[in-house]
């Protein structure tokens, strides 16, 4: 009987400790949520010399309203810049 009682107490202590650990984890998640609210300016993810890289750079320098051209990779790089810039603008406007 005493052994069973002691095992229950040990189990309770362990479970209580686990609950406290998870609440710290919730705080970590909240801090990570705040960190994810940081606004990141557009950053070219492509390898220099590629059509994607050139399209991204061109869009960054010219800030076009639409992307066009004869190269699909150039267009995709340009569109990537537009998406990142739009996300950045949305993020900064929410912080004001």
3-state SS string over the chain?
Answer: CHHHHHHHHHHHHHHHHHHHHHHHHHHHHHHHHHHHCCCCCCCCCCCCCCHHHHHHHHHHHHCCCCCCCCCHHHHHHHHHHHHHHHHHHHHHHHHC
Domain residue spans of the chain:
46-96
What is the reported pLDDT for 9?
Answer: 63
Per-residue pLDDT of the chain (96 residues; tens, 9 = 90+): 655 555 546 555 565 554 444 445 555 544 444 545 799 999 999 999 999 999 999 999 998 999 999 999 999 999 999 999 999 999 999 887
pTM, two decimal places = 0.61
What is the reported pLDDT for 16?
Answer: 53
């Amino acid at each position: 009987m005493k052994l069973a009682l002691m095992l229950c107490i040990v189990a309770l202590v362990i479970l209580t400790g686990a609950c406290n650990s998870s609440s710290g984890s919730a705080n970590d998640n909240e801090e990570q949520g705040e960190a994810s609210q940081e606004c990141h300016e557009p950053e070219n993810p492509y390898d220099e010399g590629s059509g994607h890289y050139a399209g991204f750079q061109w869009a960054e320098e010219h800030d076009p309203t639409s992307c066009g051209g004869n190269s699909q990779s150039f267009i995709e790089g340009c569109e990537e810049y537009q998406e990142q810039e739009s996300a950045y603008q949305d993020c900064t406007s929410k912080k004001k």
